[in-house]
Chains A and B, each alone.
Chain A
Amino acid sequence: MIELQAAVSGALNGSLYALMALGLSLAWGFLKVINLAHFAMILLAGYLTFELATSTGLSPIATIVVTAPLMFLVGALIQLGYERFDVSELNSLLISYGLLIITVQVVTNIWTADFQRLPSEINPFSAESLAVGSLRFPMPTLLAAGFAVVLVVAAALVLGRTYAGRALQAFGQDREIASAFGIDHRLLGVLLAGAAGASAAVAGMLFPIGGTLTPDLPFEWIGLVFAIVILGGIGNVTGTLYAGLLVGATSGLVAVIWTPSTSPFVVFSLVVLALVFRPKGLFPQKGG
């Protein structure tokens, strides 16, 4: 019983990380950009959510009206920069790392390094849960799971069913051929990067609902989020969600069966095994 509850809690928690991983995986798979600035956008969106909610008294969920367009813009602008300078995959990693540490420092200078939590008056979710029998689905991570499912389904539909989506897939597989067929990869790339930025805003909105903000959070996220990107398969949106749920459930189970300290050992060993035996991810796509 406790194992079931732990697996459920863990899986829901993992869906939040899947949401963080989604934009990263998309940009990597389709734009060939490893954008560590994605973490910067999540962090910034988290603090903006905190600031807007506490100063206006709005529900933190409502702040997404502001943060999502803003992060769309930021993501798109960064992508324009990558295009402008024709940045390679590896160089994008280094440049975006530069952007990430700049953001961390700026956030520290504005909001201090102290813990920031949404007060319970405007964040009623932190202590709530949905009861099904004796199982409890904690509200903050349940919200995250809901958003993750919606975004993943939307992304999968857009990629699979629309012209733009197929063009992006073609572009992800072979840039030159795609360009030869007249695909305006620059516009598509900027739109995709913007969408990834908006997904960062959603993740950033959800994090302070369930947790405590500190400026160095990105460095704690990087390991787990990349683990999910790899396990899910780079550019595989549904795989990312499955991987998030799997990693979350695994760490939850390991935490109650052994100890929480064992979880990172199990999860990252799983990553190494996956990289060695299933380098395209645990959930291969049709035709991929």
Chain B
Amino acid sequence: MSRRASILALVTAIALTIAACGGDTGTTTTAGDEGTTTAAPGTTASPDTTAAPSTTAEGSGDPIVVGGTLSLTGAFAATGAIHKVAGEMFIERLNAAGGLLGREVQWNLLDDESDTANIAPLYEQLISQDQVDLIMGPYATPNILAAMPVAERYGYTLPQHTAVLAPLMTYACQFPGWSIGPEPNSFIPNQIADALDSLDGAVSTVALLTNESGSTAFISYGVADDPDDPSTLNILPERGYEIVADIPYPPGYEDWGSTAAQVRDANADLVLVNGLGVEANSLIDAMQQLDYTPPMMFALFPAPGPLLGLGDAAQGTLSVSIFEPNEPILEQMDPEVREIVDEFAERAAAEEIPYTVFETQAAASWNAWEILAQGVEGAGSTDGQGICDSLHSTGAELTFSGAVTFDPAVNNFWDTTEGLKQIQGSEWVMVWPEDIAAGALAGPTG
């Protein structure tokens, strides 16, 4: 009997704990100067919110609440953390400078758990229940694609950091913070070819590896049902580079040993990995185990830190970037940039983010927040259509990407400033195109 009783007590305690967890609806809301956590609008409203329309006044004292989700847990959490730090920093600086329209800005940030299925309900919740004034997109292309229809239905302007698949981003009031132009599937292979051309024939053959998911497969093969769509597979041969191996692999692929053997036997001048995360790392490890080091490597969207961690094995590896805080670049830019970069490094370290350099991801995040802030100031209100119209008519002035304009005909994907970066020594260095490069492109080894 005493066992029964103790179990019962345990269950009761757990049930109450669960209930208590549910009872606290305070959300992590980054407010003003101290980054304090304040209650979400939902908890402060009257009990009958369900029956009453929004009471959020437009009075000058009320804060402007920006709603959004990031992947704070789950598979995308590593990058989600970068966007969280960048966003928090941006809002602090914005509020320190007087906020937006003279009002304080707060960020109502929810966790989407890296699950695309959570995105639409959470954005619905933010807009219809929490009645946020503005929204900021989530991280990762599928998540942004899931948030877009919600924003469209409510007429909210959706700035977003990282969805580069221009053809899919069809909502006219969606504004990318990172652009590879309207046709990344053509731009990226052409830019690679341009860079290779400058090496005077040192590279002539290419082994292509592709993660068969979203953006990476799009860059390699174009849209799935059109073989003539521009793609790495089509463009490189047109530009005189022979593709000697074409190896698609599934997400979560582990068996790199056999693939490395295949790449070694292809003996290409350039191993081009249109992959994600640490896939390039795994491939390099596996190739080293076969005593093989390719003359040159390219990785499309790698996790930046781990590749640097490989030391000599990854020297000369190329990737894409919209911003790298290289000394020559910082010298040319506004001194504010150096401040941002340094502060970010500090805060990222405090949050235990392993790679603390303010690079493409953080810059894209910053761009998206600037687009939102300038849209609001331009419109003079938080009205979604107003912001959208203002951005379409006047564009935006971005700290990290300069002046950009938005054309709905190309889904607002602005003229890209994207270039190529290369591991040189212990850092990523912008090497292409030459006019924005901080260092010279190093050719193949061996």
Contacts and interface: CB of A to CB of B under 8 A. Distances in A.
Interface of A: 1-2, 5-10, 12-13, 105, 108, 112-115, 117, 119-120, 126-129, 131, 136, 138-141, 210-212, 214, 216, 220, 248, 251-253, 255-256, 259-261, 263-264
Nearest to A120: B311
Given A5-B261, A138-B290, 15 more contacts: A7-B258, A8-B257, A10-B258, A12-B257, A13-B255, A105-B73, A113-B74, A113-B78, A114-B77, A114-B81, A117-B278, A131-B291, A256-B258, A260-B249, A260-B253
B257 A13 contact: yes
Nearest to B351: A112
B333 interface: no
B142 interface: no
A259 B282 contact: no
B259 interface: yes
Contacts of A105: 73
A139 B289 contact: yes
B249 A212 contact: no
B135 to A, nearest CB: 24
Given A9-B257, A115-B278, A252-B257, A261 B78 contact: no
A115 B306 contact: yes
Interface residues of B, number: 43
A7 B212 CA distance: 23
A264 B250 contact: yes
B286 interface: yes
B281 A9 contact: no
A13 B285 CA distance: 14
A261 B248 contact: yes
A248 B254 CA distance: 11
A125 B127 CA distance: 52
A129 B290 contact: yes
A249 to B, nearest CB: 9
Interface centre among B282, B289, B290 (most CB of A within 10 A): B289
Contacts of A251: 255, 258
B277 interface: yes
Contact of A255 (B81, B114, B252, B258): B258
B75 interface: yes
Contact of B258 (A6, A108, A131, A261): A6
Closest 9 CB pairs of A and B: A9-B257, A113-B77, A6-B258, A252-B258, A138-B289, A114-B78, A127-B288, A260-B249, A129-B289
A1 B267 CA distance: 14
Contacts of A114: 77-78, 81, 353-354
Contacts of B74: 108, 113, 216
B330 interface: no
A165 to B, nearest CB: 33
Contact of B75 (A129, A214, A256): A214
Contact of B257 (A117, A126, A141): A141
B12 interface: no
B255 A252 contact: yes
Given A251-B255, A253-B258, A212 B290 contact: no
A12 B260 CA distance: 14
Contacts of A260: 247-250, 253, 255, 258-259
